Chains A and B, each alone.
Chain A
C-alpha cells in the first residue's frame, strides 16, 4: 500500500478542499475553518486509510461530511437562538434567510445570477446538494460521486434528477417573485 506524507497531501489538495467547502458553506471564513478541520481529520486518520479508493475520493468524502456537519450545527444554533429569543423576549439578530453569497471566482456579469443559484443550492436536501455540487461544480463522474457518497450510480442519477427539478422549481418561484 502506498504511504502518504501529510505535507504533500496538503499541498496537493488544499485548494480542492477549500473550494469544495466554500461551495457548501458559502462563506470564506467558514470554508477556511472547515478546511482546517478536514486536514486535521486527514492527519489523524491517515493511518486508517486502506487504499480501497483513490486518496482524493477519501479526501472528498471527509470534506463533504465536515461541511454538512457544520451546516447542520449552524442550523441547530439558529433554531436554539430563535427559541431562546421567544422565551427571553429579546430581539436577537436571527437570519432566517441565507444572505446573498457572491463567490469571488464568478465572472462579474454572472455575479447576481450565481448568487441566486447558490441560494437555491443551499435549499436542497443534503444528498441532492452533494450530488449536484460534485457533478455540476466539481465535474466528477457519476462513478466518482457514487464512490464519495457510498451509493450506486443509479442513486446518483436519481439524486441529480431530483436536485435539478428542485432547483428549477425554486428558480421558477424566485423569478415570479423578484424578476417578473
Chain B
C-alpha cells in the first residue's frame, strides 16, 4: 500500500470511536421558553386572520349589493319596454319612479 492510500485510509477511519457529546443542560428550558412564546404569538395571528376574514365578508357583501341593484335597474327598464309594447302604460301617465 502506498503512502497516499495509507493516509486516505487513516483519514477515513479517523472518526472511529467518536465520543458522543452531552447537550447543554439549559437547552431544555430554552425549548420550553420558545414553546411558550409561540403560544403567546398565536393570538395576534388569530386577530389578524379574523380582521382579514371580516374585511373579505364586508367586501363580498358590498359587491353583491351593488351588482344586484344594477341588475334590478336593468330588469326594471326591460319591464317598462315590455309594458309600453303591450300598451300597458299610458304615455300620459306621469311616472314617479
Contacts and interface: CB of A to CB of B under 8 A. Distances in A.
Contacts of A106: 14-15, 18-19
A35 interface: yes
Contacts of B23: 14-15, 17-18, 32, 35
Interface in B20-76: 20-24, 27-28, 30-31, 34-35, 38
A168 B8 contact: yes
B7 A104 contact: no
B91 interface: no
B41 to A, nearest CB: 12
Q: Which of B7, B11, B19 has the most CB of A within 10 A?
A: B11
Contacts of A8: none
Dominant secondary structure of chain A at its interface with chain B: helix
Contact of B8 (A19, A136, A175): A175
Given A14-B27, A113-B14, A40 B20 contact: no
Interface string A151-169: 0000000000000000110
B27 to A, nearest CB: 6
Interface size class of B (residues with CB under 8 A): 20 to 34
A60 interface: no
Given A14-B23, A35-B27, A137 B34 contact: no
A157 to B, nearest CB: 18
Contacts of A32: 23-24, 27
Given A104-B21, A175-B4, A10 B11 contact: no
A43 B15 CA distance: 32
Contacts of A40: 31, 34-35, 38
Interface residues of A, number: 34
A175 B9 CA distance: 12
A105 B31 contact: no
Given A32-B27, A103-B18, A105-B18, A171 B8 contact: yes
Contacts of A22: 21
A77 to B, nearest CB: 22
30 contacts: A10-B31, A14-B27, A15-B20, A15-B23, A17-B23, A22-B21, A32-B24, A32-B27, A36-B27, A36-B34, A40-B38, A43-B31, A43-B35, A103-B15, A105-B19, A105-B21, A106-B19, A107-B19, A113-B10, A114-B18, A116-B11, A117-B15, A137-B15, A168-B8, A171-B7, A171-B12, A172-B8, A175-B4, A176-B4, A179-B7
